[in-house]
Amino acid sequence: MHGTILIADSHAGELGELRSLLRENGYTVEVVSTGKDALLAFADRRPDAVLVDVALADMDGVELCDRVKQADEARDVPVLFLGAGDDIQQRIDALDRGGIDFIPRPFAAAEVLARVKRQVTVANARLALQESAAKFRAATESAIDAIVSANARGLILSWNKAAVELFGYSEEEMLGESLTKIIPEHYRDAHNAGVERVGSGGRAHIIGSIVEIEGLHKNGHEIPVELSLTAWKLDGKRYFTGILRDIAERKEAEQRLKSVTESAIDAIVSSDASSTVVGWNRAAEEMFGWTAEDIVGKPLETIIPKRFHGPHKHGMDRVTNTGDSHVIGTTVELAAVHRDGQEFPIELSLSTWTVAADRYYTGIIRDISARKEAEDQLKEYADQLAAQHEELQRRHDELERSRHALEASFKQTQKLFSAMTDSMPGAILNGKYRLEEKIASGGFGVVYEGVQLSLERKVAVKLLRPPSQEDESTVLERFRREGVSTTRVKHPNAVSIIDLDITAGGFPYIVMEFLEGRTLSQLIKDEGALSIGLASRIMADVCGVLASAHQAGVVHRDIKPSNIFLVGDPQQPFVKVLDFGIAKLMDEPGLSSVTRTGQFVGTPSYMAPERLRPEAPETELSDIYAAGVVLYEALTGKLPIPPRKTLVQTIQAHMNSQPIPLTNICPEVPSELAGLVSRLLSRDLEDRPSASQLQAELLELADAPGAGESIPCVVTRRRVEPDEAATETWDDASETRPAAQS
């Protein structure tokens, strides 16, 4: 079927031959005799051609043609007029009003058929061309890339919306213009030469390939673009269509990537699926000795040891064929080859990527020669340590066996010493001193009431307890220091040392003046908090001793109520400071090493915070802090930092907690006294006064009005004796004393 023909002719009866001939040639023919019927038939079905009698009975044929052409879908339908051949004006009007042909009567049916065929064919071709053009325009307008067509002379024939956005020119501005309008100056000579070559029958060098060039924007700046060019012919003429993509962002990304790869400390190497090197950064040049110019384009096997060539090829084939890779996405340790032929160990992280269905590989490579060398050295060192550990373990086992033996021996010695001390009363030491009643025992010795035979006077004799873990020289050094430090302190309120010697049985002893009375600890326990006057006078006397000791270079290190002995009238006692046995001679710093490792010398509840830290500086200001604690306790019956259940907890409290302000315990305490106690207990050493300054301030407080009265304090639970907390963990803190001094 070639199409439908509508014939509107007042002489319909004369058209039998034409109708038959059209039908024989594959056309469907519909014949009407009036213009009205023709319009109805045309509206019912759109014919491929219309034959119209110029002189219809009900309307002029030209009028029918006008009315048919009013519909958009009918504008391209060919209208052929039938009329008298001798009426020239009629023929002119018909062709002028839209007729495509005029067939004069009488006509031959074969001629009419030929003319109909030609016009239907032309109309169909025109329609197809219009549809094709519409589809082409729709495609180009929806494309994200610029699509530009030009003829062989380089004149622009089409310009889509993406081209408007890319170059800034509208379609009206560019149609018919030369392509040089969007070509930078430095490309124009090459472009003109190409146009001339193509125009003379030559070939375009870039047709069928994709190239990166620059385009020229309307505002004058250049744009990096990717161009894909094709050529086509129409009616024997050559045309070109270019697809242009803005690659400014890609170029910027490539530049950023290049700056990253060039600044990377690791080598970054890329290859294509054929194992040809396509990327090589500066770090790779330094690592392998090849420049990018030397290596790009060469096989990747250039940097792979020969023994790995087979597995490498097998792996590349497997990834290409199956997509399966054992190393992509992981980090592996391999070996590589330097340009000089030397192998070195590397760490490789491999990734893969595709461009236009082509697979590429990128490896990040790190030279691990130094790390491997360090690992080998570390292994050697670990082996040595293991051997040394085994030897140390053997020695440790031997020492442990020796320790158990020593402990057993010490326990036996302690039992013997305890039994001996009970039987010592009546014994005479070195023909000079007779031991009588045992009056006290402590961590390092036993104290007896004795008699100095030459003068027949009472004395106190302290016999040293046998050592545990310490050697004999250390024990003797401790004992010597008690005598030396005490004799260096020349003050009436310091206990007097009479003699220092060793018994015939090898037991060191020290002889002191005998005192009768009780300790400040016992006084507070028996009678409670003291008045401001009494507490201040007692501590003023203690400070007098400390001032003398500090001037002589001696730090007491264990000022506490049990080391302050009160002789005579309880309301006006004579003060004696005891136990310089753990004093530190300030001009003999090495003597601090005689303490047992990891133990403190002193009583933690009275120790300044700085003394609780290893290697902390120790000065006479530590004694001032302890004096502040004793003054606080004498006034309140309580400690400023209450002792905890264990030694560790007590130490942590003193290191991390602030003392309870005196005003919290005794709200009515005089402000001068509260301020003084706060300065004495300050963690800042600069806040604490010297012993002589403190003595002067205490004497002023002792003489102040109302000093004879005790301060009303808040009642709390029974005072915990500091000696009751963890008494087995520090040196002289565990001594117990009767009413007489020890």
Q: Is the pLDDT of residue 282 over 80?
A: yes
Instruction: Indicate whether 491 belongs to any domain.
Output: no
**Lowest mean pLDDT, pick from 271-285, 477-491, 677-691:** 477-491
368-415: per-residue pLDDT in tens?
A: 999 999 888 988 988 898 888 888 898 888 888 877 776 676 566 666
What φ, ψ does residue 730 adopt, rounded to 5°?
A: -135, 170
Considering its fold, how many domains does the chain have in total? 4
Instruction: Indicate whether 173 belongs to any domain.
Output: yes
Q: What pLDDT was estimated at residue 471?
A: 54
Q: Is the pLDDT of residue 459 over 70?
A: yes
Confidence category of residue 725, pLDDT binned at 50, 70, 90: very low
What mean pLDDT is predicted for residues 271-278? 89
Q: Round to whole Å and give the CA distance between 595 and 585.
A: 14
CATH code: domain of residue 562 = 1.10.510.10
8-30: per-residue pLDDT in tens?
A: 888 777 788 888 888 888 888 89
Instruction: Indicate whether 54 belongs to any domain.
Output: yes
User: What percentage of residues in the chain have a pLDDT greater than 70?
Assistant: 83
Q: What pLDDT was estimated at residue 476?
A: 65
Q: Is the pLDDT of residue 593 over 70?
A: no
Q: Round to whole Å and give the CA distance between 248 and 721.
A: 85
CB distance 175 to 159 below 8 Å: yes
List 53, 558, 623, 732, catalytic entry: 558
Whether residue 630 sits in one domain with residue 614: yes
Q: Round to whole Å and give the CA distance between 169 and 171.
A: 7
Place of tokens 């064929």: 321
The string over 331-366, giving b where at least 16 C-beta atoms fall within 10 Å of a residue's C-beta and e elsewhere, is: eeebebbeeeeeeebbbbbbeeeeeeeebebbbbbb
CB distance 83 to 94 below 8 Å: yes
Whether residue 221 sits in one domain with residue 89: no
CB distance 35 to 10 below 8 Å: no
By residue range, what is the domain housing residue 76?
3-136
Mean pLDDT of the chain: 82
Q: What pLDDT was estimated at residue 692?
A: 96
What mean pLDDT is predicted for residues 521-547? 94
Whether residue 703 sits in one domain with residue 611: yes
Whether residue 721 sits in one domain with residue 699: yes
Q: Is the pLDDT of residue 617 over 50?
A: yes
Q: Is the pLDDT of residue 628 over 90?
A: yes
**Lowest mean pLDDT, pick from 219-223, 356-360, 645-649, 665-669:** 356-360
What mean pLDDT is predicted for residues 527-542? 93
Q: What pLDDT was estimated at residue 719?
A: 44
Whether residue 695 sits in one domain with residue 612: yes
Confidence category of residue 700, pLDDT binned at 50, 70, 90: very high
CATH code: domain of residue 353 = 3.30.450.20
3-state secondary structure of 96: helix
Instruction: Indicate whether 85 belongs to any domain.
Output: yes
Q: Round to whole Å and give the CA distance between 182 and 281.
A: 35
Among this protein's residues, is 66 annotated catalytic? no
Last residue of a domain, one of 246, 274, 296: 246
Strand 428-429, strand 433-441: pairing: antiparallel
Instruction: Indicate whether 412 belongs to any domain.
Output: no
What mean pLDDT is predicted for residues 229-246? 85
**Lowest mean pLDDT, pick from 53-67, 471-485, 668-682, 726-740:** 726-740
Whether residue 301 sits in one domain with residue 202: no
Q: What pLDDT was estimated at residue 574?
A: 95
Q: Round to whole Å and give the CA distance between 565 and 116.
A: 146
Q: What pLDDT was estimated at residue 25?
A: 87
Highest mean pLDDT among 101-105, 473-477, 478-482, 529-533: 529-533
407-452: per-residue pLDDT in tens?
A: 676 566 666 667 677 788 999 999 999 999 998 876 667 899 999 9
What mean pLDDT is predicted for residues 483-512? 84
Whether residue 182 sits in one domain with residue 292: no
Confidence category of residue 294, pLDDT binned at 50, 70, 90: very high
Whether residue 339 sits in one domain with residue 322: yes
Q: What pLDDT was estimated at residue 416?
A: 65
* Secondary structure (DSSP) of 200-261: TT---TTBTSEEEEEEE-TTS-EEEEEEEEEEEEETTEEEEEEEEEE-HHHHHHHHHHHHHH
Q: Where are the beta strands (DSSP E) in 85-203?
A: 101-105, 146-151, 156-159
Whether residue 254 sits in one domain with residue 173: no
Of 355, 320, 348, which is closest to residue 332 (Cα–Cα)? 348
